[in-house]
Structure 1
């Protein structure tokens, strides 16, 4: 039997229904993330704050939030969100932000159908922490979601995983062109994307919610035919009642707002690159790797041309992308930043800094990878006379449907047992206990005896000087292949007899550790919305989460 583990458990009354919520130690955590969760104080050389209420209080008290271009920012946000519809709650949040409101912010790439579930969990984290801090600090705290529409790695966002024939399959949207444009400028082919969505929905089991969900997704797609717009439309719809504010980093009016900040980054480019390079070397010496893999000659900015991004480096006092033949002097870069800021784009170093310049940030919600690369940026923030915000680990959630919960109870597993491989081990034990070892032994005996007899024949032929050894070996090979064929056929037939039981083990693994990792890193919310309805998001938002670094398991 597997090792037993009893998690912290809460029973929550949600709309008259008792829901079970369990908390576990964060699974699959890197050494750095584990340290950040359990002992953030020991990482003070990399961050300005720990991630607790004391730090949030200090951040609020010592930070001057009056220097931001609030009116301009709200005008840009309003213009951007108008396309998707501004809810009453969002309008209130926009007004608060224009006055003295501060923000909790997080972001993600514009994945198809919201991308992996952790995009949803990140939005829930932003909303939940903003609500909690609004109450505790007594000031308006507004949730903001930053869409990385400037990202051009389309292969990271152009697919979803669905179950087909009891197996998990990656279904990729068939891009008609392979030019690596930014997500905000990569347009779907109408026929292709509609056929793609139909293919995805046809793979889902028919439920009470399937038709309505399909129509909703199709309607959101109608006027939103880029990755970023489709993502924004869906997120706005899912979180409309929470007033989640959205902005695409590549939105051109937003770039105009950032003009002054781009100029600062150009002027400080050399010093910034040196600081980040040195800090990352310290990070590596501490045993945490090089999450950015920066270079001393990095410009930490992209140049944008026809929707494509080209990463710039500094060479001989120029900002260059050699393979593209791009070269600008500092004066030319400053002119671009001042008059054509839409032609510039942040990289992994300058995006966090730009975020702090544009928004009055109380806290940034980050995932494991984000927190690691933010850990290299402390001195970069100080270069611009800023401190990092409080970097709060996002909520990490596994959603367990009733069928999966029934299987867990049937086999006496916890969710953590599945993460730790106990299900796979138990499945193999189940199979081996039912396998007749005599069959394998007999086939092995036949193989050994056959090889021995053929060796006798080979020796005899050589003695008689009959040069037929190659033919003998070839014939032996035929027999060995036939034995392997028989062995495989026996194994397939044997496993077929156990199929129903084996499938239950595989079902647990596929639901809770798809692709060998957390559910939230593979599945979109589509399957769950199809199973339990769009109220799933609201139900998840009603759980009284604690930001304590634990992983939540929620039975829906």
Structure 2
């Protein structure tokens, strides 16, 4: 049985804290608050009949068929074709799903869809949008893993000469095989290790791009829940979006102005500039051979000057009509496109996403739409048995780790065991050396012997030797306390790796190896509430 605790969201920015605790005060930035009343209002006042449901379901079915479509997914596709509405969230295509918050987003989408299906009495379907058009591979090409008691970032070694989209960036078979071997060699052998290694390698066999591997992995974990997937860069999906790209090209100038002004208002409210929008932005990329080039508007043209790309509005409109796969959304137009393509009841967002959505209210209105209800994703920390044992042994809670109390206790433990006479004696020796060398220098000068630089150099030499012995004493002292210090460090590394929440660093690899393939089912069974709290699951 998994125990669940709920706590105030740690490490929250000022904006995210306000969004969680006082959404009403942000009404100038959003159409809805994030509560049940808002979800009911969204359902009642939104025309969900305008979407191209049959075409959308055909695209989703064709995309998902490669990864396997469960019976529940088929049922959800049929409901979507009819009159179903969706809960949607998305993420970049990280290796082995990327950080745990990818898993938590999927759990959020599934959980909210189940809850709203029951409360609203209509088919509510969970959808996961894979940001396969993203081209910043450095953000997704690594896994954090523990080695020699330290957390290490293990990067997939292949370096691409060009920054292609994740959907077309392929792994080298041999390099990826070696990379997986390296990751698994760092894991302790458990009952599940061989099966997990085999499964991941099987998923990799036919899915050798970042996006395909991500989709295959996520589908394997969630298909029995009927979670639907789409890669934003999937070419048939882009063709479905043609009509909407045309609207974005046509309204490009007005859209840029609105977003620029909205972000200024957002900044003046003290929330920074999450998009850093430019007044001449086109908010679209042009795609060529898998590379994306951000367009700007200049002299009535859409340009990317460094690449020498230039289109008139008519030329870009023709691309949107005939070759929509050559266009790609940016951070501004992606939410708009999502609303145009899908019948969205609610969007599940993380802290960063919600911040930039806060700049888009008037952009939605430009296209005669309202934002969906923007629900903060479930934020979860998972505490394994070993960490639970240590927390109980030292009488710490998880918030004690977030607040720095465990780090402080570790330092206190070290200081309590330190022989303070040793540093005091070394300081005394240093002071005596300075006094004696000063006396020596003055005596030499009184005899007109000018050796001050040599005296100074000799003093520095002895001070360095004292520092050397002091460091050796400290190392020896810490070594004696190593086992106890390591227990403090283990709690900190498990629950605040890299100084932040666990879900932002660790992939599910370690937990799948430790807990087994039932991990996701265990997490899905928990009674989550969408209340802005951070959930702690004690496995």
- TM-score class, shorter-chain normalisation, is over 0.9
Question: In structure 2, the residue corresponding to 1:184 is in which secondary structure?
Answer: coil
Which residue of structure 2 aligns with residue 3 of structure 1?
Answer: none
Question: In structure 2, the residue corresponding to 1:145 is in which secondary structure?
Answer: strand
1:279 aligned residue (256, 262, 267):
262
Q: Tell me, in whole angstroms, the C-alpha distance in 2 between the residues paired with 1:434 and 1:161.
A: 33
Which residue of structure 2 aligns with residue 189 of structure 1?
Answer: 172
Q: Tell me, in whole angstroms, the C-alpha distance in 1 between the residues paired with 2:456 and 2:161.
A: 50
1:424 aligns with 2:407: yes
Query: What 5-or-longer segments of structure 1 have no aligned partner?
Result: 1-17
Contact map agreement 2:2 2:522 (CA 8 A) in 1: no
Question: In structure 2, the residue corresponding to 1:239 is in which secondary structure?
Answer: helix
Which residue of structure 1 aligns with residue 386 of structure 2?
Answer: 403
1:100 aligns with 2:83: yes
Which residue of structure 2 aligns with residue 499 of structure 1?
Answer: 482
- Alpha-carbon deviations, 1:358-412, whole Å to 9, x = none? 0000000000000000000000000000000000000000000011011111111
After superposing the two structures, state which structure 1 stretch, 118-127 or 454-463, moved more: 454-463
Q: Tell me, in whole angstroms, the C-alpha distance in 2 between the residues paired with 1:463 and 1:89.
A: 97
1:42-61 aligned at under 5 Å gives the runs: 42-61=25-44
1:314-353 aligned at under 5 Å gives the runs: 314-353=297-336
1:217-296 aligned at under 5 Å gives the runs: 217-296=200-279
Q: Tell me, in whole angstroms, the C-alpha distance in 1 between the residues paired with 2:286 and 2:113.
A: 34
Question: In structure 2, the residue corresponding to 1:74 is in which secondary structure?
Answer: helix
Deviation at 1:520, TM superposition (A): 0.2
Question: In structure 1, the residue corresponding to 2:207 is in which secondary structure?
Answer: coil
1:8-157 aligned at under 5 Å gives the runs: 18-157=1-140
Contact map agreement 2:2 2:526 (CA 8 A) in 1: no
Deviation at 1:462, TM superposition (A): 2.4
Q: Tell me, in whole angstroms, the C-alpha distance in 1 between the residues paired with 2:211 and 2:51.
A: 26
1:465 aligns with 2:444: no
1:376 aligned residue (330, 353, 359):
359
Q: Tell me, in whole angstroms, the C-alpha distance in 2 between the residues paired with 1:249 and 1:20.
A: 37
Which residue of structure 2 aligns with residue 4 of structure 1?
Answer: none
Question: In structure 2, the residue corresponding to 1:246 is in which secondary structure?
Answer: strand
The Cα RMSD (Å) is 0.8
Runs of 4+ in 1 over 4 A off after TM superposition: none
Deviation at 1:460, TM superposition (A): 2.1
Contact map agreement 1:184 1:228 (CA 8 A) in 2: yes
Q: Tell me, in whole angstroms, the C-alpha distance in 2 between the residues paired with 1:251 and 1:461.
A: 84
Deviation at 1:476, TM superposition (A): 1.7
The aligned length equals 539
Deviation at 1:81, TM superposition (A): 0.5
Deviation at 1:137, TM superposition (A): 1.1
1:478 aligns with 2:467: no
Contact map agreement 1:362 1:389 (CA 8 A) in 2: yes
Question: In structure 2, the residue corresponding to 1:86 is in which secondary structure?
Answer: coil
2:369 aligned residue (370, 377, 386):
386
Q: Tell me, in whole angstroms, the C-alpha distance in 1 between the residues paired with 2:146 and 2:46.
A: 48
- Alpha-carbon deviations, 1:452-478, whole Å to 9, x = none? 211222222223233322222222222
Contact map agreement 1:176 1:189 (CA 8 A) in 2: no
Which residue of structure 2 aligns with residue 6 of structure 1?
Answer: none
After superposing the two structures, state which structure 1 stretch, 174-183 or 516-525, moved more: 174-183
Q: Tell me, in whole angstroms, the C-alpha distance in 2 between the residues paired with 1:258 and 1:458.
A: 84
Deviation at 1:176, TM superposition (A): 3.4
Query: What 5-or-longer segments of structure 2 have no aligned partner?
Result: none
